[in-house]
């Protein structure tokens, strides 16, 4: 696989030259935080963010996405027929993705792209995307990717990886898509062994220094009902406001809700992010709500991520350790603490 080294200025210039091949998205400063935007909107690009406030999942799985369009005009011969909404699936490059967010794509793939069920839009959007990662030289105190199967330089889910070497970026292709991307990038020079070694040592050092703080080892062996009935849920959930911050910022939360909207004789069917924190999420048409109480909803979120997922797919936890929910939960409900409680739980004790 190809490797190239760019001076930082040359790299920014090269990204600007990709317009004819890709729609390029990258983290741009928006007020107090960074968010993924098209490169055309960039006033200044700096790859010095911790991470974006919202994960890049919104580029693949928009908060609100048109699925179908329909007409209610009785004169229209195609009235009441759902037609797939047009989508732009031209190639796009998402540059500067942190490894945790790329790792999350793999976790979500199990839901959207599996032998039983394939979500056409999610799959097409992912296929059209080239993920160019940026290794984390300085993981945050709230990061715990290493504890959940990732790492600050984890390559899983990425097509290419940038490594910040002070005044230069080393860009390494990891897949064929990444190879293609790198071949289209102008400038840069092939990396020699010395640079590669420097990058390897950096990655090793950062990874080794990062603490592995969140225990997840026992989760898969604990009986599911025991965890479900564990006594700590009320206490964990007390402070929760039942807002959707954690689920909306999370790169691995995939739940959505389908709505029809009509204006005059035109209508659309769209899907919106939904959140298990909302009472409406499980409200039945009959008026009954099986998850009526706050602690049940909080329990659902953690059990789904840390237990049901593990049991269903026999792998991982459904968390990439990005730490967004830890940082931005308005009432400081910390998934690391909850995971610790669950992992250490002794049924019957």
Partner 1 sequence: MIQYTDKIREIAGRLLKDGTVEVFIGYRKGTVPMMNEPVLIRDPDQVDTLHWDVNCGLNLCNYLTRRTEKIGILATGCNSRNIVTHIIENQIKREQLYIVGIPCTGMVDHRAVKRAVGGKEILSAEQQGEKLIVKGADFEKTFEIKEILQSNCAVCRHRNPVEVDEMVADPVPEQEGVEPYKDVESVEGMEPRKKWEFFTRLISRCLRCYACRNACPLCYCPTCFVDESRPQWVGKSNDPTDTMTFHFLRAYHCAGRCTDCGACERVCPVGISMRQFTKKLNKDAEELFSWEAGLTLEQRPPLDVYRPDDYNDFIK
Partner 2 sequence: MKNLLEHIGIEPGRLHFSWISSAEATKFVDVANQVYEAVKEVGPAQVFIKRLAEVA
DSSP H helical segments within the chain, as ranges?
Answer: 8-16, 57-60, 99-112, 120-128, 176-184, 193-209, 224-228, 233-237, 245-249, 294-303, 309-313, 324-328, 335-343
Q: Which of 329, 339, 342, 345 binds partner 1 (CB under 8 A)?
A: 329
Nearest approach, Cβ of residue 120 and partner 2 (Å):
15
DSSP H helical segments within 61-142, as ranges?
Answer: 99-112, 120-128
Check residue 203 for interaction with partner 1 (CB under 8 A): no
Longest dimension (CA), the chain: 71
CB 228 within 8 A of CB 299: yes
Tokens of 174: 């990891």
Check residue 66 for interaction with partner 2 (CB under 8 A): yes
Check residue 174 for interaction with partner 2 (CB under 8 A): no
Number of residues that bind partner 1 (CB under 8 A): 44
Check residue 13 for interaction with partner 2 (CB under 8 A): no
DSSP H helical segments within 139-290, as ranges?
Answer: 176-184, 193-209, 224-228, 233-237, 245-249
Tokens of 155: 């390559």
The piece of 33-41, 139-147, 180-188, 267-275 that touches partner 2 (CB under 8 A) is: 267-275
Contacted by 224, from partner 2, partner 1, none: CB < 5 to 8 Å by type: none
Tell me which DSSP letter residue 229 carries. T
Contacted by 238, from partner 1, partner 2, none: CB < 5 to 8 Å by type: partner 1
- The span from the CA of 342 to the CA of 102, in Å, is 26
Nearest approach, Cβ of residue 181 and partner 1 (Å):
29
Name the 3-class secondary structure at 92.
strand
Nearest approach, Cβ of residue 261 and partner 2 (Å):
6
Check residue 259 for interaction with partner 1 (CB under 8 A): yes
The piece of 69-77, 113-121, 216-224, 233-241 that touches partner 1 (CB under 8 A) is: 233-241
Contacted by 130, from partner 2, partner 1, none: CB < 5 to 8 Å by type: none
Number of residues that bind partner 2 (CB under 8 A): 11
- The span from the CA of 150 to the CA of 320, in Å, is 7
Phi first, then psi, for residue 5 (nearest 5°) are: -115, 135
- Nearest CA to 27 among 91, 95, 92, 93? 95
Nearest approach, Cβ of residue 265 and partner 2 (Å):
11
Nearest approach, Cβ of residue 2 and partner 1 (Å):
33
Contacted by 33, from partner 2, partner 1, none: CB < 5 to 8 Å by type: partner 1
Residue nearer to partner 1 on the CB measure, 20 or 284: 284
Nearest approach, Cβ of residue 244 and partner 2 (Å):
17
List interacting residues with partner 2 (CB under 8 A): 62-66, 261, 263, 266-268, 270
């Amino acid at each position: 696989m190809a490797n190239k080294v760019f001076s930082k200025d040359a790299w920014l210039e090269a990204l600007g030259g990709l317009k004819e091949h890709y729609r390029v998205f990258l983290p741009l400063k928006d007020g107090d935080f960074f968010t993924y935007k098209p490169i055309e909107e960039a006033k200044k690009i700096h790859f010095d963010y911790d991470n974006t406030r919202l994960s890049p999942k919104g580029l693949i799985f928009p908060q609100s996405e048109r699925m179908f369009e329909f007409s209610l005009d009785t004169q229209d011969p195609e009235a009441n027929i759902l037609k797939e909404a047009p989508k732009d699936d031209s190639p796009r490059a998402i540059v500067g993705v942190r490894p945790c967010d790329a790792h999350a794509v793999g976790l979500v793939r199990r839901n959207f792209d599996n032998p039983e069920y394939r979500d056409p839009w999610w799959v097409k959007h992912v296929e059209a995307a080239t993920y160019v990662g940026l290794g984390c030289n300085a993981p945050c105190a709230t990061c715990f990717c290493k504890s959940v199967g990732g790492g600050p330089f984890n390559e899983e889910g990425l097509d290419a990886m940038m490594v910040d070497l002070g005044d230069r970026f080393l860009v390494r292709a990891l897949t064929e898509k990444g190879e293609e991307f790198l071949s289209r990038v102008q400038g840069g020079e092939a990396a020699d062994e010395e640079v590669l070694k420097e990058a390897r040592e950096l990655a090793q050092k950062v990874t080794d220094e990062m603490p592995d703080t969140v225990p997840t080892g026992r989760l898969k062996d604990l009986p599911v009902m025991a965890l479900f009935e564990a006594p700590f849920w009320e206490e964990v959930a007390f402070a929760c406001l039942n807002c959707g911050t954690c689920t909306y910022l999370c790169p691995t939360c995939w739940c959505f809700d389908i709505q029809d909207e009509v204006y005059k004789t035109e209508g659309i069917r769209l899907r919106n992010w939904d959140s298990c924190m909302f009472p409406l999420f499980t409200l039945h048409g009959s008026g009954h709500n099986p998850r009526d109480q706050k602690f049940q909803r909080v329990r659902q979120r953690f059990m789904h991520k840390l237990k049901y997922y593990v049991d269903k797919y026999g792998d991982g936890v459904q968390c990439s350790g990005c730490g967004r929910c830890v940082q931005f939960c308005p009432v400081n409900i910390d998934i690391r603490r909850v995971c610790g409680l669950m992992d250490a739980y002794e049924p019957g004790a």
